[in-house]
Structure formats: structure tokens, C-alpha cells
Amino acid sequence: MANISRRTLIKTGAAAATLSAIGAPVLAADKIKIGFVFLGPIGDYGWTWAHNQARLMVDKELGDKVETVYVENVNEDASAIPVIRDLAKQGCKLIFTTSYGYMDQTIQVASEFPDVKFEHCTGYKRAANVATYNSKFHEGRAVLGTISGMMSKSGTIGYLGSYKVPEVVLGVNSMALSAQKKNPNAKIKLVLIDSWFDPPKEAAATQTMINLGCDIVATHTDSPGPLQILEQKKLYGFGQGADMSKFAPHAHLTAIEDYWGPYYIQRAKAVLDGSWTSTDTWDGIKEGTVRFAPYNKVMPDDVKAAADAIRKGYMDGTYNVFTGPIYDQDGKLRVKEGEVISDADLAVMDWFVKGVETAS
Amino acid sequence: MSIDFIIAAFITVVGLTTPILLAGLGELVVEKSGVLNLGVEGMMLIGAVCGFALTYTYGFDYPGIAPWGGILAAAAGGALSALLFGFLVLELNSNQVATGLALAIFGTGLSSLIGQGFTGMIITPFGSIFPDALATGRYTQVIFGYSPLVYFALAMVPAVHWFLNRTRAGLILRAVGENDLSAHSIGYSVKQVRYAAIAFGGAMAGIGGAYFSMVITPMWAEKMTAGRGWIALALVVFAGWRTGRLLAGAFFFGVLMTLELYAKASGFSLVPSEVWAAMPYLMTVVALTLISRRETAGGNAPACLGKPFLPTA
Amino acid sequence: MRIKLEKRPAPSVAMMVLTPVLSVLLTMLIGVIVFDFLGVDGFGAVRDIFLTPILASYKWQDVAVKAAPLVIIALGLSVGNRAQVWNIGAEGQYIIGALFAAGVGIAAGDLGGPFVVLAMVLAGILGGALWAAVPALLKTRWDVNEILSSLMLTYVAGQVLGYLVGGPWKDPNGRNFPATAPLHDNQVLPIVFPGTTVHLGVIVALILPFAFWWLMARSMFGFQVRVVGAAPQAARHGGFDTKQTIWLALVISGAMAGLAGAFEFTGALHAINLGFPSGYGFTAIIVSFLGRLNPIGCLIAGVVLAITYVGGQVAQTTVHIPSSTAGIFQAMMLFLILASDIFIRYRIRFVSRRPQAAAVAGE
């Protein structure tokens, strides 16, 4: 492939070659191009890795109708604009921008290309040709919290987070509330390390939480580093974003898997058949965006059953961890008995529930 | 606060201290020879990936030897990339600051290219080689519970000090760093000395990088050193180019970073958490200010640091 | 026969122009071969990295917007580097500059217009200068090494940004994401060419190198900086104040970094989030040295580096090279340009061994 194109190019001359690169590449009429903008390297084994796995699923499922391209390591600054625009210029009909920090850039480029459909992950700004999508990771955290509440001997659970953003706040609260249903005295120690990816700091933070009495540590940062520390200490934790059991066969109880593939395929099909509209999708366990790695065999059967019950509750819509009464850190009642926090309120949650210990 | 608590916290500090100490010691020798190599981050990453790759490849067949081979590979990888820098700055007199920064970019790129086949793999951590009774004993772990690299780093502190101050070779190295033209005129090969120093610095940075990929979190991930190379560079300046103070500085930095995590995990919410996160960096500046005040500071910086060697000039 | 390097009596101007061009060409040639060897379309990769950003007119604006902060920061750093004052904390000054501009914007509320925008830009300059004044104070008062203090303050600046955008300055309509509210339309830097992203800051980045060239080549200050940098002892005898030079070198480089931050905020991004610091301050150090500390050189080097960044991303989508490979390629170009510097000061002579032998025989 590479050789053929090179030979052709040499024949036609450099100038012409350059021109052909600028214009929209010639594709089979029915084949559409789909672009992906990635925050990290596809080898991060975390956030970007999961999005790239989903891209590969699109290739596999719709390979005869679509062609996918991606750009990795794209900063969340103004330089994302040319990257997104370039994908549109190259003829992409559907572009996924897979980090919150591309929000304004996506909106800006989308206004220049009304015929191109854009999908922005985790943001909230939409336009006629910009849809948003996110995953209800906190539903997964309710399962992890249930497991932790039952398996933690000390009742103190560590939570390693990145920044105080709604996604992390929701995860912490979901974890705390679900753990407290199994152990009313369960506490969560939260450490935010001001980064999504810093293996040495993630490792040190995990050691710190262990020393402060945590015997289970959940991670909301992207590296498997914390799991490796837990493995060495013979304690328990969970994979983040993907099945990380091979990093810690003993410590890895289960993992929340970011499973974007079905959504990506669905949206690609919508573009192919012309049914695409701008939507705001917030899928979770029910829709299959949040999945779980197989349970570790060290988990007792009653714990497995309790975890499955939560999953089933989300599948059939009978369970929601954010059901009152919910008290905040100061002990004030924030959600009355029987009330459920709406999705709209969840999306902007910035307060922690009772039992969460943190410095921020 | 129990003794166990302090021991566990101390072990965390050691984990944060060791890699920057290793890389810092190497850079100290490089700078003492009059060369400024800002590419530490790149060399650490190359060391990290080389160490991991070799250990992973041979770890199943030769579990006992593979990690040692990994350390050698890390040192070799770091040294080779450093020699590329050395060739440019010594033979072609290219600008050291810019070449060093280019090396950082190069190392980041090359390490991810080499590492592509190794993401998602793990190795057994290169931990303590002492018997379990000692390595995991309640009190004995403070002394015996570390990776061989920790003892190596600690041993290198007096070794480098002794080399620089007590050996003839060290004297020559310092002379080259202080006044390369004089050293040249009395017959020492400035280039050879600097090549050796640069290779040593690269090897140490490589081993420091391997500490991440083989000891703390035994895996490979792109950019996994997360900026520690820059800290190591600052550490050499902080130490005033003295080995003892480099150890103290690395430990001080490790303590501050650990304190940040303990403060956050314990829920001290009197100040914003960002204050805790900024603390290691602020305190480093404050500490250097206090030290500098008491002495005629800056006197220990090699006079030829960063300047090209132009014997015919 | 052997190769001998011979020092030129004066640096070769021809080589100064020729070597960077040849280095880039050589990089391209090596690129074609190496990429092909790696199984990538080498010709396509090199074409997209180097030529597409130049030949495709729609990429010009991207190069310009990317180059602007690099050039502006590098100009300031060059002043400091000439005086042997090493400010490697431009990234932090860039952040603080943007934050100062944001502070003015928030304080102005709904007010907008040229004066508010001007005030924001000036605040950015002030913020960067103030952040750089800390290392200057520490250096002149207590002899604290500015490499260390300026680098450490970059990390502190990152935390200041994190605190402000996640706390007091968080956009009330921003769904509790840590980011400032987007600027009002009347608070943003004007776009120079309608329909593009080329903001006024790009034009300033084009003009500033010439102003700096004048400053360094023609003014007393420029002379002072060069003398202090070249020969501190002589400078002291000549009555130049070393401390004053340190102050000016750091404050000017800080001010420029702050200006770049304010431009990036008001001209390109219009909001500040956690992703705002993306390394311009560090890359600008390379630009400064690649431009040989010469203001016009900084302009050219900034554009060249911006081309490889923009082109590297193009090549990711067209010939599917990973970003790490683009990084290696960029480093290779830097190595070659830096290595070729030797031809400016030296010439290569092919010396045969025979004449030497003859000379010995003749003795």
C-alpha cells in the first residue's frame, strides 16, 4: 500500500502530490470517513485506550462502509482547533472529540462545517451538528461501593481521584453511599492528585491511603499503578476504564470498563443512513456503556450476589444509588427520603456526601 | 502516631526520593564536568522502557537474572542517548541548552515507539533481595525492604563524593568543568572526560527511569516519569552541586510530596488542596533562599557550565 | 586523506542562512528513508509534516496561531539568555499572564470594547512580569539560582490556575467543570482576517521581532545586555549594573510570556481550563536557541517549529504515523540544525597526508 502510493506520487510529481493531499481524498462513494481526536496516547491503557478500542470496533463492524482516522496526544488548548478542522477538511463526516477540554473548540469548528456531524464526549454544549455523550460511570461505582462496603475490614475505603470535576464527585459519592448501605460506618478517604496520569504519584498516594487505614482503594485516574501497589500489599482495588486484572491478579476485584463501541457504531450507522440528529446521551449499565470485568474468584458468593443485584437494579431501572435520604459532609440533609437526584442535578454535583474525607 | 505508621510513610518517601536521587547524581557529575544536559526526562524515559523491555522479554526464562539485565539495559539506553547528545555538543559544539531540550523530546518519542509492544504487560517488581523475614519484618523492613536500586542510589552518594573529591580522575573532571582551556593546555583530554561524564549521567538517569518501570509500578506506559527529570535537574541546582546536599534535597522533596498526600488523605481542609500541591515547589525555593543567605552561594557552580569548549579560540 | 575542521576568521553569514535550510532538507531526506524502513509511507509523511502546512493555504492560519506564542515568548527569553540569565519558567509566567487577563475580564463584567481588551492584555504583561520578578528578587537579593526558582514557580503557577478555575473563577454556567466562563464577544481580541482564527496577537508576533531587533542592536540597553552576558567582569568595570540587567532580563522575558498568555486567552481560547498550560513556555526555549538568540531568528524558528507541530498532526491522520514518531522526527530536525551550527564557525578541509610527509622530509 505504502509503496504503491509512493510510486504514484513520484510519477505525478511532488507539487501535484501535495495538492492531492489538500483536497478531499477520493474514497469509494459509499465509504465515509470518521475522525477521532484523542487526549492521550492510544497506549495509555486508560481513557484514550478505551476510546481507541471502540474505534477498532467500528472498523471491524463497519469496515466496508467506513474508514477511521485518529489524532492522539492532542492538547486541550487552541491547537485542538486545527486538528479538528483538519479532520473535517479531509472529508470526515463524523468526528468524535473525546475529552471535555475540546468542548469550545468542537463547537467552533462545527459552526464552520454544517455538513459534518460532531460528537463531543463529556461536554454539555450542543449545536445542530454537535451531539454530546457521556457514560454513567457512577453507576459502576455503586457496584464497586457495594463490594467495598462488604469486603473492607477497616470500613475505610480509599478513593484516588484526579480533579474535582462532576464525574469524580459523582463517583466518590456513589461509592460512599453504596458502601454505607452495606456498612453504615464506611468512610471514604479521597485524594485528588491534580493529574489524570502520573504513575509515581498515583502509587505514592495509594501507599498513603493504605497507611491511613484503607484496605480497598478505588482509582479514578488512568494508570494501573495503584493496583500494582495493592497487589504488593495483598489488598484490593478495581480496574479503571478497562480490565486490568493482569496487572494485579489478586488485588483486581473487578473493573469498570468504558465500552464506547456500541455507541460509536450506532452513531456511525446513523450518519450512514442519514438519521443522525444532535442528541445528549448519558448511557450507563443498562445501555452497556458501563461494563464490568469478570469478578475475582477471591470475592465471596454473597458479595458477588450483592454486586449482581445492583447491576440488575440498574438494568431494569429499579435501583438508583442517589435516592434519599442523603446527607452532605456537614451532616445536613440534602435529599429527602424517597427523593431521587435528577440527571440534570447529578451532572453538576459539586458537594460530597457524609462519610467522605477530603482536603478540598 | 504509631511506629508502623511512620515506617510506612518513610517507605513512601524513599520511593519518591530514589529516582530523582539517581538521576540527580548523574546530572551532578555531568555538570561538574562543565556540561549542562537538560535532557534528563528523555533519558529517564528511555531507561524506563529499555529496563522494562529486557526484563519482560527474559523474565520468564531467567527470572533471577532478568531484572539485573534490565537495569543494565536501562543504563545502556540512557548512556547511548546521552552520547548522542555528547556527540552533538562536544564534536559539533552545538548549543547545550537547545540540544538537551531536543534530547528530552527525542527520548519521549523514542521511548513510546519502543514501548508500543509493551503496553499492558507487567513484570514482577524488582523488590528486596533479602529473605522475606527481613524484607517484610515489622521493623527490619525499614532497612531491608527495598529494591537493590535504593541501596545502589544510596551507595552512589558517597561514591560520587569520593570520586569527585578524592580521586585523581575526579580532580581532572572538576578541573575540566572549572577551566577547560587550562585543563586542555596541561594535557588532559577535555572531550574524553566530558564524554565519560555524559555517559555516566545518562546511565544514572536511565536507571532512575527504570526505578519507575521496574520497581514502583512494574509496567510500561508512555510518559510514565511524569516530569521527574525536570525535578532532578532542579535538584542539582538546589544542592549547589554537592552530593551530600543532593541526598538531603531529594529526601526533602520526597518528604514534601508525601506530606501533600497525607494532608489530602487526612482531610486537612484549612487551606485549598492546591496549596498542598504547590508546597513541595514553594518550600524548595524557600529552602534554597535560606541556605543561600547563609553562604556565598553560587560559588560551587562549575565555571564552564553550559559553555562550548573551543580550544583554538 | 583526512577531514580537518578549520576555524573561520569570522562567522560565515552564508552558512548561517544555508545550514538551517540544508538541515531541514536533510531531515526530510532521512525521513523518507527511515519512515519507509518503518513501513510508513515516507514520502507522504515528510510531505505532510513539512510541505502541507506551507503549501496548503488553509493551514497557514494554524501555523500562524501556533507560532505566535512561541515567537513572543522566545523573544523575551533571548534577551535573558544573552545576558546569561536563565529563565526556564516562562510556562509559569505564561499561565499567570493569562490569569491576570482573565481577572481583568471578570472584573470588567459586561463591559467590553477596545479599552477593556487592551487592559486585559496589559494586565497579562504585568502578571508575567510580576511572576518573573520573584526569581529576579531572589537572585539579586539572596543569589538564589533563577533556573531553580523559575522552574519551581511554574509548578506553583499551575496550582494557582487550578485553584482559580476550580474555585472562585469557576464558570457558574459551566456545570461545575473547572474552567472560567467564556469571554463576552466584546472582550475578545479582534480577528484580523475575517473567517480565520488569525487574531491581533499574530500580527503583534510579526512586528515584535523587529522591535526587539532594534532594542538589542541599536539601544544602550541591548548593548548592556550583550556586554553583561559576554563579560560580566568587564561590564562591572564599564559601570553596568549586573543586578539591573538581571532584573530587566527576567522582567522582560516574563512580560513577553505574560503577553503570550494573554493573547492565547483573549485571542484563541477565550476561556481558561486545566488544559491551558500546554508547554509553549518550554518549547519557546528551543525556539530561542534555534533562532540563535536573534529576534528575527526567533521569528523564523518559531514558524519552523509550528510547521512541524501542525504537520505532525496532519501526518497522523493522512499517513497514520503515531505522534511519538512525529516527535522523534522533530527532535531529529532540531539535532541536525544544532549540529550544522559548526559550519558557521568552521570550514571543512580535506587534507591529504602527503604534504605533511613532504614537510617532514624537508626539515
Q: Sort out which chain A residues have CB atoms less than 8 A from C155's CB and list them.
A: none
> Nearest residue on chain C to A81, judged by CA atoms?
C62
Above 70 in pLDDT, residue A8? no
Residues A198, A101 share a domain: no
The number of domains in chain A is 2
Q: Are C177 and A72 within 8 A, CB to CB?
A: no
Residues A99, A55 share a domain: yes
Q: Among A145-149, B198-202, C22-26, where is mean pLDDT lowest?
A: C22-26
Cα dihedral sign for A107, A111, A112, A118? positive
Whether residue B226 lies within 8 A of chain A, CB to CB, comes out as: yes
Closest Cβ–Cβ partner in C41, C62, C310 for A5: C41
Residues A157, A128 share a domain: no
- Taking domain B3-294, whether its CATH number is 1.10.3470 is answered by yes
* In chain C, where the domains are located: 1-40+321-363, 70-315
Domain-embedded: residue A209: yes
* Residue at which a domain ends, from A135, A164, A189: A135
A13 CB contacts (<8 Å, ≥6 apart)?
none
Residues A158, A130 share a domain: no
Domain span holding position A217: 137-258+289-357
The CATH number that applies at residue A320 is 3.40.50.2300
pLDDT in tens, B182-227: 888 888 899 999 999 999 999 999 999 999 999 998 999 888 888 8
Q: What is the C-alpha separation between B229 and B239, in angstroms, rounded?
A: 15
Q: Which amino acid is at B161?
A: H
Count Cβ atoms within 10 A of the Cβ of residue B3 and give its class: 0-12 exposed, 13-18 middle, 19 or more buried: exposed
Q: What is the mean pLDDT of chain A?
A: 88
- For residue C323, the model assigns a pLDDT of 79
Whether residue B285 lies within 8 A of chain C, CB to CB, comes out as: yes
pLDDT in tens, B262-303: 988 887 767 787 888 888 899 888 888 887 766 554 457 788
C-beta of residue C133 within 8 angstroms of C-beta of residue C251: yes
> Nearest residue on chain A to B20, judged by CA atoms?
A200
Q: How far is C256 from chain A (nearest CA, A)?
A: 19
Whether residue C271 lies within 8 A of chain A, CB to CB, comes out as: yes
Q: Sort out which chain C residues have CB atoms less than 8 A from A71's CB and list them.
A: 313, 316-317, 323
Alpha helices in B116-225 (DSSP H): 132-135, 141-144, 148-166, 168-178, 180-185, 190-210
Q: What is the C-alpha separation between A347 and C176, in angstroms, rounded?
A: 8
Above 80 in pLDDT, residue C235? no
Instruction: Compute the average pLDDT of residues B248-255.
Output: 93
Give the 3-state secondary structure of residue A349. coil
> Nearest residue on chain B to A229, judged by CA atoms?
B217
C-beta of residue A146 within 8 angstroms of C-beta of residue A178: yes
Q: Are B292 and C156 within 8 A, CB to CB?
A: no
Residues A178, A43 share a domain: no
Q: What is the C-alpha separation between B173 and B179, in angstroms, rounded?
A: 10
- Give which of A39, A163, A191 to mutate to test B binding, by max B Cβ within 10 Å: A191
Name the architecture of domain C70-315: Orthogonal Bundle (1.10)
Is the ipTM above a cut-off of 0.85? yes
User: What is the count of residue pairs from A and C with beta carbons less than 8 Å apart?
Assistant: 133
Q: Are A199 and B212 within 8 A, CB to CB?
A: yes
Whether residue C330 lies within 8 A of chain B, CB to CB, comes out as: yes
Residues A308, A222 share a domain: yes
Q: Sort out which chain A residues have CB atoms less than 8 A from B258's CB and list them.
A: 204, 208
- For residue C2, the model assigns a pLDDT of 64
* In chain B, where the domains are located: 3-294
> Nearest residue on chain A to B136, judged by CA atoms?
A233
Q: What is the C-alpha separation between B52 and B214, in angstroms, rounded?
A: 6
> Which residues 109-148 of B are in CB contact (within 8 Å) with A?
112, 115-116, 119-120, 122, 125, 127
Q: Are B285 and C325 within 8 A, CB to CB?
A: no
Residues A308, A204 share a domain: yes
Residues A151, A101 share a domain: no
> Which residues 105-144 of B are in CB contact (within 8 Å) with C?
105-106, 108-113, 116
Q: Are A200 and B12 within 8 A, CB to CB?
A: no
- Give which of B31, B43, B92 to mutate to test C binding, by max C Cβ within 10 Å: B92
Q: Are C285 and B97 within 8 A, CB to CB?
A: yes
Q: Sort out which chain A residues have CB atoms less than 8 A from B261's CB and list them.
A: 191, 193, 201, 204-205, 208
Residues A152, A130 share a domain: no
Domain-embedded: residue A16: no
Share of chain A above pLDDT 90, in %: 69
Q: How far is A78 from chain C (nearest CA, A)?
A: 5
* Residue at which a domain ends, from A135, A157, A172: A135
Q: What is the C-alpha separation between C103 and C164, in angstroms, rounded?
A: 10
Cα dihedral sign for C193, C195, C196, C197? positive
Q: Are B113 and C325 within 8 A, CB to CB?
A: yes
pLDDT in tens, A272-295: 999 999 999 999 999 999 999 999
* Residue at which a domain ends, from A98, A120, A135: A135
Confidence at A106, pLDDT banded by 50, 70, 90: very high
Residues A336, A249 share a domain: yes
- For residue B103, the model assigns a pLDDT of 95
Q: What 8-state DSSP symbol labels residue A353?
A: B
Residues A309, A194 share a domain: yes
User: What is the count of residue pairs from B and C with beta carbons less than 8 Å apart?
Assistant: 137
Q: What is the C-alpha separation between A81 and A74, in angstroms, rounded?
A: 10
Residues A297, A167 share a domain: yes
Q: Are A360 and B269 within 8 A, CB to CB?
A: yes
